[in-house]
Amino acid sequence: MPAVKDLGDDTVHVYLNGKFVAEENAMISIDDRGFLFADGVYEVVHVYGRTLFEWDLHMARLQRSVAAVELPPVDLVSLRHVAEELVSRLDASESEASLYLEITRGTHRRSHGFPPAGSTEPTVLMWVRPVVPISRPTIEDGVPMISVADDRWAKVWIKTIGLLPNVLAKHKAQQAGMFDAIFIRDGMVTEATSANIFIVESGTLHTAPTTNYILPGITRQVVLELAAARGIAIDLTPFSYESLLDADEAFLTGTLTEVLPISEVDGHRLRHTSGPIARQLLEDLHRRAGWPGSL
């Protein structure tokens, strides 16, 4: 990974290949393999009041993704330095932000095989942008979902930038006036387009196990720890579409989604449209982030 060459203008929230640049000057080549082949990986980190939430867990997952697609190892010290520099450039009023990090196999004339060794450096992009927190009424009402067939590839556990199935599923949900789509594989619930899914049945929390068919969410992991700390029973065996419909409550977890209650699935209202365990876990998550809750 290139060293940081230029600290640039301190209003700039974009880093590209060793430089902090104004957004309009952040240019990617037409030969970038991320653009041509989705040949790259990414991470999204929630920034709460300039603190990078669970940075080490995100970096550990990034390293697994990088190794899985045979990119060169990343320099975590340099990435942390860049991240802190970008976050320090946020306005004081920008209290919550998202940090996006993408690494592609670099720029080379289009050819499916990897570029010859030494012919290109990975493209490294990072930006930080303010986010509007999910509103209190949305949390109180829960969000409506549809289900779709999970026709993604068998390496969903790698956080690659190849997200077209997720994009199409989200679009289908939005076309139907719904918030998001839930992927169903062989009758079992895997996850949503950019979040994991939990259900609560008779006080027990269920979420899909970490197989190759889900993205092992950092928020999922944190929520499991928070639930265990509360003494909530946890079951990590696959659960079916029918048990989702029959659940006492269901919710999404994700870096920007946090813990978000689900109100209905395919027009079927859940017993609790914004359940007590989801709200409790959202509060715990905010406490862990050192953040005033939205409830």
Which residues in this chain contact ligand PDD in the complex, by CB under 6 A?
44, 166, 191, 194-196, 215, 217-220, 253-256
Spatial separation of the C-alpha atoms in residues 179 and 171, rounded to whole Å: 10
CB of 239 to ligand PDD, least distance (A): 16
Rank residues 1 and 45 by Cβ distance to ligand PDD and give the closer one. 45
In terms of Cα–Cα distance, which of 195, 222, 197 is closest to 284?
Answer: 222
Rank residues 20 and 198 by Cβ distance to ligand PDD and give the closer one. 198
CB of 152 to ligand PDD, least distance (A): 9
CB of 70 to ligand PDD, least distance (A): 21
Q: Where are the beta strands (DSSP E) in 120-187?
A: 123-130, 143-149, 180-185
Identify the helix (H) or strand (E) that includes residue 68: helix 55-68
Task: Give the CA count within 13 Å in the CB-facing half-sphere of 12.
Answer: 18
Assess whether 159 carries a catalytic annotation. yes
Q: Which two tokens stand for residue 207?
A: 């979420």
Amino acid letter, residue 269: R
For 122: left if phi > 0, alpha if psi spans -120 to 50, otherwise beta; the answer is beta
Rank residues 53 and 120 by Cβ distance to ligand PDD and give the closer one. 53
Q: Find the angle CA(179)-CA(209)-CA(159) to the nearest 5 degrees.
A: 65
Distances 88 to 8, 169, 192 between C-alpha atoms, Å: 13, 35, 32
Rank residues 1 and 197 by Cβ distance to ligand PDD and give the closer one. 197
CB of 9 to ligand PDD, least distance (A): 27
CB of 243 to ligand PDD, least distance (A): 20
CB of 90 to ligand PDD, least distance (A): 19
Q: Which two tokens stand for residue 98?
A: 């998202």
Asked whether the beta carbons of 161 and 287 are under 8 A apart, the reply is: no
Query: Active site residue: 5, 19, 155, 159, which one?
Result: 159
In terms of Cα–Cα distance, which of 203, 11, 164, 187 is closest to 91?
Answer: 11
Rank residues 107 and 178 by Cβ distance to ligand PDD and give the closer one. 178
Rank residues 87 and 259 by Cβ distance to ligand PDD and give the closer one. 259
In terms of Cα–Cα distance, which of 179, 149, 175, 169 is closest to 241?
Answer: 149
Amino acid letter, residue 156: V
Active site (catalytic) residues: 159
